[in-house]
Structure 1
Amino acid sequence: MPSTTDADTGAPADLSAFEQQLPLHGEFVSQRTETAGEVEIARRSDGTVWATLTNFSTGSSPNLRLYLNEGALVKNADGAWSAESGAGYDIAANIGPSGSQQFEIPGSYGMPEIHSVTVFDFTAPDFYHFGSAPLG
């Protein structure tokens, strides 16, 4: 009979690699504009996964989005923060530029490990990253 838990983590085997990481926490760093606050990603008792932004603030944009990144957040030689390569997952559109907010993460059941989150100005032509948070 197959195991119902992962031997390394003890988490249920039917959870995605991302879900087995939960809960995750991070503190935002500024990229294109001053960004501050904290993010927590956790599974709720009903099995859904949510991202919660606390004491959050960033720049203004008509189209702010929240992305989960496979890549870790790193500082390059110029001192700028960016996510390493890997896919990004658009989890929330039209987030507010400030305040505490919560967003359900659709598709969490099929995601690989996630290592950072980015607040993204989804406005052409520049599509700036306003701020990001490493997750751990």
Structure 2
Amino acid sequence: MQAIRWTTAVGLALAMCGCTVATAPVPTPVTSTAIEPAPSSSTASEPRALSEFEQQLPLTGSFVSQASDTTGTARIERRADGSVWVMLEDFQTGDASDLRLYLKTDPLLQDTDGHWGSAEGGYEIASIDPSAPTQEIEVPGTWTMPAIQTLTVANYVAPHFPAFGSAALG
């Protein structure tokens, strides 16, 4: 507060005596150019280790019917960007309101009555279109998956959640 009064008093005194005061020129703002940081001398970070599932790729299999007539082939492969995709080709199955694709760790087995099956559950990938013969579906979370042996198409309707068809992968 005192500095303001002093400045005002000095300015008022100078104005009354008719004196002029030389003021310093207003500095021109300096523009600067961003400096790029020097490249790191350390080596590039190591790529992450592939999961058991990713080490198996590419995988292929042909569908067998379970609760519904299901035909076509499945191919699972890694793309150049590192993403993993399931490609369904010549795919056909029964109509369902909520058809989902699962990857399973257990093998696809045929029982003594000729019925195909694998363990319940698995890794849900996505919903699929039962009427589209060709589909591409990205597989999420591949970096954490164990070895996979079966791809299953199931109708996600309680209480039974029937498997419409499965493909043994190899």
TM-score > 0.5, shorter chain as reference: yes
Equivalent in the alignment of 2:145: 111
Q: Alignment length, in residue pairs? A: 123
Given that residues 71 and 86 in structure 1 are in contact (C-alpha distance below 8 angstroms), is that contact kept between their aligned partners in structure 2? no
2:60 is the alignment partner of 1:25: yes
Determine the structure 2 residue equivalent to 1:5.
none
How high is the TM-score relative to the length of structure 2? 0.69
Stretches of structure 2 that go unaligned for 5 or more consecutive residues are: 1-46
Identity of aligned residues (%): 50
Instruction: Return the match for 1:82 from 102, 106, 117.
Output: 117
Report the alpha carbon displacement of residue 86 of structure 1 after superposing the two structures with TM.
Answer: 7.5
Larger relative contact order (C-alpha < 8 A, sep ≥ 6)? 1
Tell me the residue number matched to 1:50.
Answer: 85
Distance in 2, matches of 1:70 and 1:79, equals 21
Specify every segment of 5 or more residues in structure 1 that has no aligned partner in the other structure, as ranges: 1-11
| Match in the other structure for 1:4 | none
Aligned equivalent of 1:125, options 150, 153, 159: 159
Of 97, 102, 114, the match for 1:67: 102
Contact 1:70-1:87 within 8 A present in 2 as well: no
Cα distance in 2 between the residues matched to 1:54 and 1:124: 28
Structure 1 Cα separation of the partners of residues 156 and 140 of structure 2: 19
Shift of residue 78 of structure 1? 1.4
Deviation at 1:124, TM superposition (A): 1.5
Structure that is richer in helix per residue: 2
Two-structure CA RMSD over aligned residues (Å): 1.4
**Matches of 2:82 and 2:167 in 1, distance apart?**
24
* TM-score, normalised with respect to structure 1: 0.86
| Structure showing the higher strand proportion among its residues | 1
